[in-house]
């Protein structure tokens, strides 16, 4: 009896720590990997702590908005389980990595609301991946590190590039949906990925509804800077 109780308690502890996800399998058959350009996101948000005190990394490289399960036929699952966000996971993944690569620019890191962005992304999207919280957050950060930011962006911060050239870098207009403020000022990029066992594996052609989310209508894309 005592051994049985100990086993149950150990299982509960693993779920609480994010080692085991309450979602048994992934929903959706592809992923949208949403990256953010913090100088663009911060436009008009000087009251946000991170926008007034940006990390050096944000000056040249994309950060993470989220990793979103999607249906290749259109639409997406959301809020797939009631598993609550585990506040210890950012420390297990690495606090510096989380705040650098997946930041909440609205708040100072010491603010109790700082993890509200991660709570939202986990609850709405992460619960539909079938992954543990640790695997969801750490895996998405690894994808960012591997996929990187185009030199076309990093070499032209504060300037502009051809929207067509930027789409070509990502494999063409069917493989990327650029995100712009006012049609010309980059604030993010959506790419699409095949999914195996809840993990992104290779960039693919985006579902048509994702392609339609491209909001960069001009022929030129301006790459705003914090400086």
Q: What is the pLDDT of residues 169-193, one digit of tens each?
A: 999 999 999 999 999 999 999 999 9
Query: In Å, how far from its chain's centre is CA 87?
Result: 18
Q: What pLDDT sits at residue 25?
A: 64
- Pairing status of strand 63-70 against strand 220-222: unpaired
pLDDT digits (tens, 9 = 90+) for 191-210: 999 999 889 999 999 999 99
Angle between helices 116-124 and 133-147 (to 10 degrees): 100
CA atoms of 153 and 221, how far apart (whole Å): 10
Q: What is the mean pLDDT of residues 51-59?
A: 98
Q: What percent of the chain has pLDDT over 70?
A: 89
Report how far residue 202's alpha carbon sits from residue 209's, in angstroms, rounded to the nearest whole number.
Answer: 19
**pLDDT recorded at residue 21:** 38
Report the alpha-carbon distance of residue 140 to residue 59 in Å, rounded.
20
> What confidence tens digit (pLDDT) does each residue in 125-160 have?
999 999 999 999 999 999 999 999 999 999 999 999
Strand, coil or helix: what is 165?
A: helix
C-beta separation of 189 from 176 below 8 A:
yes
For the whole model, what pTM was predicted?
A: 0.88
Any idea how long the chain is? 227
pLDDT score of 150: 97
Q: Which pLDDT value is given to residue 126?
A: 98
Tell whether the model's pLDDT for residue 223 goes beyond 60.
yes
Distance CA 53, CA 106 (A): 10
User: What tokens were used for 140?
Assistant: 């998405």
Q: Between vectors from CA 27 to CA 24 and to CA 33, what angle results, nearest 5°?
A: 120
Is 201 in a helix, a strand, or coil?
A: strand
Note whether 197 and 31 are within 8 A (CB).
no
Whole-number pLDDT of residue 198: 87
pLDDT in tens, 72-122: 999 999 999 999 999 999 999 999 999 999 999 999 999 999 999 999 999
Q: What is the mean pLDDT of the chain?
A: 91
């Amino acid at each position: 009896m005592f051994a049985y109780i100990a086993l149950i308690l150990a299982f509960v502890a693993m779920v609480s720590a994010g080692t085991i996800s309450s979602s048994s399998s992934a929903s959706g058959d592809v992923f949208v990997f949403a990256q953010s350009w913090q100088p663009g996101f911060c436009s008009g948000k000087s009251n946000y702590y991170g926008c007034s005190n940006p990390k050096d990394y944000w000056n040249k490289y994309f950060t993470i908005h989220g990793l979103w399960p999607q249906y290749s036929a259109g639409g997406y699952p959301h809020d797939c389980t009631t598993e609550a966000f585990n506040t210890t996971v950012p420390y297990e993944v690495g606090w510096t990595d989380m705040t650098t690569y997946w930041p909440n620019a609205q708040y100072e890191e010491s603010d109790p609301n700082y993890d509200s962005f991660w709570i939202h992304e986990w609850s709405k999207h992460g619960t539909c991946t079938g992954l543990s919280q640790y695997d969801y957050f750490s895996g998405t950060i690894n994808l960012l590190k591997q996929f990187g930011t185009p030199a076309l962006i990093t070499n032209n911060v504060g300037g502009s590039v051809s929207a067509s050239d930027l789409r070509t870098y990502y494999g063409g207009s069917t493989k990327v949906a650029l995100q712009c403020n006012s049609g010309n000022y980059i604030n993010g990029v959506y790419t699409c990925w095949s999914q195996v066992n809840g993990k992104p594996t290779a960039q693919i052609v985006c579902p048509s509804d994702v392609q339609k989310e491209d909001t960069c209508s001009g022929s030129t894309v301006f790459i705003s800077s914090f400086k």
